[in-house]
Amino acid sequence: MSSAAQGVDKSKAPLLAHLNELRKRIFKSALGVLALATIGWFFYSQIITKLAVPICGPDTTLETCSALYVSGVLGPLNLQIKVALIVGVILSAPIWLYQIWAFVLPALKKREKTLAFIFFLSSIPFFAAGVILGYTILPIAIKVLLGFTPDNLENLIRFDDYLDFVLRLILLFGIAFELPIFLLALNAAGAVTGKAILKPWRVAVFSIFLFVAAFTPTGDPLTMLALAMPLCGFYFAAGGIGILVDKRRAKKSSAFNES
């Protein structure tokens, strides 16, 4: 083999290694989702009964609820599969969050790996808090949206479409709550300072509201504020903590230079 061909192969080797590692991480994440989806499969009846409460009301059962329906011969099977996968994605969050961090770890130094593991542990409760807030805000969002239905019309909702709506809302809140962890991870790695985080605060706040307006499935002001306000708080808190970390890092550096 010529030296030129060997050079091309060597240049491609790191990229192929990264792609192979990414494939492995995605595969492990998918296995985690499928494994925990079995919980959603076996507890399907209880889950859809709970999810239907914002539409049907707390005192109405699925048998007597006329607002939700399933269409088609394969509709019931598709619905159960979708519910199981939703449960799998949410419950396996620690697994796929870890796979994301593990994909980044090889490029980090020993101290940075320790910090990355700490940030991974922190990301789990933040994701859970976002999911809980999304589920809490769900009945309010449903009530606001259904309030636009004319009095002389009945709103019939396909259960599949309703589940897509619930999934987008809950996952959006969960993933959005990872913002402070992401910012603090960059600060701890020395990639960005606390002042650099807070300097474009006007642009950051505008971007948060723009992101929420674009991706919140409800589009109502109450739901958007319920997500945008915590994100703004997390952003400023992350910047403030980043400044404190930078000051502590500067003091250690100056003390080391003096010694």
- Identify the pLDDT of residue 121: 81
- In the block, which residue shows the tokens 């509709």? 75
Residue 26 within a domain: yes
Positive or negative CA dihedral for 190, 130, 84, 72? negative
Residue 259 within a domain: no
Residue 258 within a domain: no
- Identify the pLDDT of residue 2: 47
Half-sphere exposure of 222 (CA within 13 A, CB side): 12
Tell me the pLDDT tens digit for each residue of 23-63. Answer: 888 999 999 999 999 998 999 888 888 888 878 777 766 66
Q: Are 245 and 183 in contact, with CB atoms under 8 Å apart?
A: no
Question: Beta strands 157-158 and 68-69: pairing type?
Answer: parallel
- Identify the pLDDT of residue 183: 83
Query: 158-163 contacts: CB < 8 A, separation 24 or more?
Result: 158/68, 158/69, 158/70, 158/71, 159/48, 159/68, 159/69, 159/70, 159/75, 159/79, 160/70, 160/75, 160/78, 160/79, 160/82, 162/51, 162/55, 162/68, 163/51, 163/79, 163/82, 163/83, 163/86
- The answer to whether residue 8 scores a pLDDT higher than 50 is no
- Identify the pLDDT of residue 159: 83
The angle that helices 159-176 and 110-146 make with each other, rounded to 10 degrees, is: 140
User: How confident is the prediction for the chain on average, in pLDDT?
Assistant: 79
Residue 155 tokens, joined:
């709103």
- Identify the pLDDT of residue 35: 93
Tell me the pLDDT tens digit for each residue of 111-122. Answer: 666 766 777 788
DSSP string, 129-155: HHHHHHHHHHHHHHHHHHTTS-TTS--
What is the pLDDT averaged over residues 129-157?
81
- Identify the pLDDT of residue 259: 61
Residue 257 within a domain: no
- The answer to whether residue 225 scores a pLDDT higher than 50 is yes
- Could you give the number of structural domains in the chain? 1
What is the pLDDT averaged over residues 218-236?
82
Query: How confident is residue 108, by pLDDT bands cut at 50, 70 and 90?
Result: low
Residue 52 within a domain: yes
Q: What percent of the chain has pLDDT over 70?
A: 83
- Write the single-letter amino acid at 74: L
What is the pLDDT averaged over residues 186-198?
81
Q: Which residues form the domain of 73?
A: 3-252
- Identify the pLDDT of residue 41: 92
- Identify the pLDDT of residue 37: 93
Query: How confident is residue 181, by pLDDT bands cut at 50, 70 and 90?
Result: confident
What is the pLDDT averaged over residues 224-231?
85
Query: How confident is residue 105, by pLDDT bands cut at 50, 70 and 90?
Result: low
